[in-house]
Amino acid sequence: MNTENTHSSHHRLKKGAPVYDAKAIFESTPAPYLILTPEFIITAVNDAYLHATATKREEILGRGIFEVFPDNPHDPKATGVKNLSMSLKKVLATKKPDRMATQKYDIPVAGQPESFEVRYWSPLNVPVFDEARSKILYLIHHVEDITEKVLSKKHTDAIEAEIEERKAIETALSEAVRDREMFFSIASHELKNPLSVMNLQVQKQLRSLERSNVEKISIEEIKQTMEGIQKQTRKLVSLVDEMLDISRITSGKLELNLKDVNLCDLIVEVVNRLIPQFEEAKVSPPSIELCQESKLLLDPIRIEQVLTNLLTNALRYGEGKPIIIRLDSLESELRLSIKDHGMGIVKDMQDKIFNRFERATETSKGKGLGLGLYISKEIIKAHGGQIWVESEPGKGSTFYVSFS
Ligand SMILES: Nc1ncnc2c1ncn2[C@@H]1O[C@H](COP(=O)(O)OP(=O)(O)OP(=O)(O)O)[C@@H](O)[C@H]1O
Ligand SMILES: [Mg+2]
List, for residues 11-43, the tens digit of each pLDDT value: 455 556 778 899 999 999 998 999 999 999 999
- Please report which ligand is nearest the Cα atom of 374: 1
Phi–psi pair at 44, nearest 5 degrees:
-155, 155
Q: Are residues 50 and 158 in the same domain?
A: no
Atom of ligand 1 nearest to the CA of 364: 29
Alpha-carbon separation of residue 110 from 49, 58, 113, 148 (angstroms)? 14, 14, 7, 20
Q: Could you say which ligand is closest to the alpha carbon of residue 338?
A: 1
> What pLDDT was estimated at residue 5?
45
C-alpha–C-alpha distance, residues 55 and 65, integer Å: 12
Instruction: Give the residue whose CA is nearest to atom 19 of ligand 1.
Output: 370
Question: How far is 404 from 400, CA to CA, in rounded Å?
Answer: 13
Say which residue, 230 or 4, is predicted with more confidence: 230
Are 263 and 401 in the same domain? yes
Q: What pLDDT, in 10s, does the model give residues 7-18?
A: 444 445 555 677
Are 202 and 303 within one domain? no
Centre a 10 Å sphere on the Cβ of residue 391 and count the other Cβ atoms it contains: 22
* pLDDT tens readout for residues 251-285: 777 888 899 999 999 999 999 999 998 998 999 99
274 Cβ closer than 6 Å to some ligand 1 atom: no
Q: Which atom of ligand 1 is nearest to the CA of 313?
A: 8
Atom of ligand 1 nearest to the CA of 314: 1
- Measuring from atom 28 of ligand 1, which residue has the nearest CA? 359
Q: How far is the C-alpha of 220 from the C-alpha of 174, rounded, in Å?
A: 53
Q: Are residues 11 and 141 in the same domain?
A: yes
Of 233, 253, 273, which residue constitutes the final position of a domain? 253
Cα 74 to ligand 1 centroid, rounded to whole Å: 62
How many A from CA of 202 to the centre of ligand 2? 28
Å from CA of 226 to ligand 2 middle: 25
- 211 with 297, same domain? no
pLDDT tens for 146-186 read 888 888 888 888 888 988 999 999 998 888 888 778 777 77
β-sheet bridge partners, residue 387? 401
Task: Give the distance (Å) from ligand 2 centre to CA of residue 343.
Answer: 14
Q: Are residues 268 and 396 in the same domain?
A: yes
CA of 67 from ligand 1 middle (Å) equals 77
* Atom number in ligand 1 closest to CA 370: 19
- In 16-113, which residue ranges form alpha helices assigned H by DSSP? 22-28, 47-53, 57-60, 65-68, 80-94
Q: What percent of the chain has pLDDT over 90?
A: 47
187 pLDDT higher than 80: no
Q: Helices 219-250 and 147-211 meet at what angle, rounded to 10?
A: 180
Q: Reply yes or no on whether the pLDDT at 2 is more than 60.
A: no
Mean pLDDT rounded to a whole number for the chain: 87
What is the signed CA dihedral for 109, 113, 116, 121, rounded to 10 degrees? 70
How many C-beta atoms surround the C-beta of residue 46 within 10 A?
22
Q: Which of 232, 253, 274 is the last residue of a domain?
A: 253
Q: Output the domain CATH number for residue 374.
A: 3.30.565.10
Q: Are residues 249 and 309 in the same domain?
A: no
Supply the residue whose CA is at minimum distance from atom 6 of ligand 1.
317
Query: The domain that contains 223 carries what CATH number?
Result: 1.10.287.130
Could you tell me if 312 and 380 lie in one domain?
Answer: yes
Please tell me the number of the ligand nearest to residue 235's CA: 1
Tell me the pLDDT tens digit for each residue of 359-393. Answer: 877 665 556 778 889 999 999 999 999 999 999 99
The candidate with the shortest Cα–Cα distance to 342, out of 321, 327, 358, 362, is 321
62 and 139 both lie in a single domain: yes
The mean pLDDT of 90-105, rounded to a whole number, is: 89
- Please tell me if the CB atom of residue 317 comes closer than 6 angstroms to any atom of ligand 1: yes
Q: Which of 365, 357, 369, 362 is nearest to 346 (CA)?
A: 362
What is the extent of the structural domain holding 274?
A: 257-404
Whether residues 306 and 344 fall in one domain = yes
Domain boundary among 130, 145, 160: 145
121-134 pLDDT, tens digit per residue, is: 889 999 999 999 88
266 and 400 together in one domain? yes
Same domain, 141 and 151: no
Q: Which of 235, 243, 353, 401 to mutate to test the pocket of ligand 1 (most atoms within 8 A of CB)?
A: 353
Total of domains in the chain: 3
- The model's pLDDT over 212-224, given as tens digits with 9 standing for 90+, comes to 776 777 888 889 8
pLDDT for 75 beyond 80: no
* Ligand 1 near 263 CB (within 6 A): no
CA of 196 to the centre of ligand 2 (A): 22
**Pocket lining: 343 vs ligand 1, CB cutoff 6 Å:** yes
